[in-house]
């Protein structure tokens, strides 16, 4: 455990002790769909260098100078509590190089991690003013998670492809192909956001604060008028969705988004905070980054497929229920066709396609 009041702890005023995770791999918190893509891309030698060259005019040096000129760089003398929070998150998640953190004047509630060589975290004043200390700690941990997973590199790919789609729209089927990739990347990034919500929880280790912060993103600062349990009930209501039309509408609404909706994030984070995976990490049993080169791409893809399959299987959404029923029906029909043509029989000796009393 760490405590800012003890030797070896990060300076600051955290309200309680938290576990530290030496050598933790980002695979510990990455959503299976996010992790499978990242593991595959990390094994492509030179991939990051190609992206940086494709980025061309995207200059980290220019970006850093702009923030240095127009925002407040946190330090022991400027936003010292926030400065200590990013150091604390890096210490808990065992990130050696602490990212610079800037606070920029903007009423929009937002936080971001940008840059490919040396990521930078940016918080808006709208966000800083909205959240309390522990909620802000979770958000900063979320952004540190982005930095450690290398999401900024792959977000650059999304920007490149989006710009490319705008330029090749006149080419027959060209725009369609690019937009298919963009849609797939957006699905990836929605899962990356769920990944980093988990990283934020590991950094702050206060599930209520993490969920409270996400709820505030949806409903503002008046916490006395909101309730996390009621917000989770709202998430349950959204999941059930009414009828098939609502299920289709939800799918159409989420496809253009780069972030999952707030109620979905809260529900998924609560589910993970109560999982055996989270308990194991807190107990010190987690993947180590020393083993990352040995991570199997095939295993990660299987985990991603299992995750999607489980989501559909457990979903209460009418649209996914229909897909599940169709799949089950197709499987049943396929089994009957197979038995008909192969002459397979039931355990009792009755042909599978014959009526049974």
Q: Which two tokens stand for residue 55?
A: 């980025």
CA gap 140, 137 in Å, rounded: 5
Q: Residue 9 in contact with residue 271, Cβ under 8 Å?
A: no
Catalytic residue among 143, 225, 233, 274: 143
Name 103's bridge partners.
72, 123
Nearest to 131 by CA among 209, 228, 234: 209
Residue carrying the six token digits 């220019």: 62
| Total residue count of the chain as it appears in this document | 357
Considering only CA atoms, give the Rg of the chain.
23
Q: Which two tokens stand for residue 67?
A: 């923030």
| Other beta carbons within 10 Å of 61 | 8
H or E, element range at 44: none
CA gap 357, 353 in Å, rounded: 13
| Other beta carbons within 10 Å of 30 | 27
CA gap 214, 196 in Å, rounded: 12
143 has catalytic annotation: yes
Q: What angle do CA 248, 198, 203 make, to 5 degrees?
A: 155
Q: Are strands 120-124 and 72-73 parallel, antiparallel or unpaired?
A: unpaired
Q: In this structure, is the dihedral angle defined by the CA atoms of residues 129, 135, 141 and 145, taken in order, positive or negative?
A: negative
Q: Residue 49 in contact with residue 235, Cβ under 8 Å?
A: no
Cα-Cα-Cα-Cα torsion 84, 87, 93, 96, nearest 10 degrees, comes to: -170
Q: In this structure, is the dihedral angle defined by the CA atoms of residues 196, 200, 203 and 206, taken in order, positive or negative?
A: negative
Catalytic residues, which ones?
Answer: 143
């Amino acid at each position: 455990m760490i405590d800012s009041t003890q030797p070896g702890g990060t300076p600051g005023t955290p309200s309680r002790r938290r576990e530290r995770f030496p050598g933790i791999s980002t695979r510990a918190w990455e959503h299976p769909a996010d992790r499978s893509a990242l593991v595959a891309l990390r094994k492509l030698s030179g991939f990051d260098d190609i992206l940086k060259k494709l980025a061309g005019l995207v200059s980290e040096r220019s970006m850093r100078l702009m923030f240095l000129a127009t925002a407040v760089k946190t330090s022991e003398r400027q936003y010292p509590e926030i400065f200590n929070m990013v150091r604390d998150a890096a210490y808990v998640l065992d990130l050696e190089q602490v990212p610079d953190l800037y606070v920029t004047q903007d009423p929009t509630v937002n936080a971001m991690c940008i840059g490919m060589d040396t990521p930078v975290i940016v918080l808006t004043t709208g966000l800083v003013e909205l959240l309390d200390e522990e909620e802000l700690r979770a958000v900063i941990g979320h952004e540190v998670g982005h930095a450690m997973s290398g999401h900024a590199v792959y977000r650059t790919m999304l920007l490149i492809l989006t710009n490319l789609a705008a330029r090749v729209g006149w080419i027959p089927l060209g725009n369609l192909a690019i937009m298919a990739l963009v849609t797939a990347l957006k699905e990836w990034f929605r899962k990356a956001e769920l990944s980093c919500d988990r990283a934020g929880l590991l950094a702050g280790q206060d599930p209520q604060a993490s969920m409270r912060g996400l709820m505030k993103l949806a409903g503002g600062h008046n916490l006395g008028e909101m309730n996390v349990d009621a917000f989770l009930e709202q998430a349950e209501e959204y999941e059930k969705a009414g009828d098939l039309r609502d299920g289709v509408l939800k799918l159409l609404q989420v496809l253009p988004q780069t972030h999952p909706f707030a109620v979905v994030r809260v529900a998924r984070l609560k589910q993970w905070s109560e999982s055996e995976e989270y308990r194991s990490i807190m107990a010190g049993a987690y993947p180590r980054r020393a083993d990352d080169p040995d991570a199997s791409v095939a295993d990660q893809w299987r985990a991603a497929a299992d995750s999607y399959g489980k989501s559909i299987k457990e979903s209460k959404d009418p649209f996914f229920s229909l897909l599940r029923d169709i799949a089950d029906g197709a499987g049943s029909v396929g089994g009957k066709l197979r038995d008909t043509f192969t002459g397979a029989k039931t355990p009792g000796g009755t042909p599978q396609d014959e009526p049974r009393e």
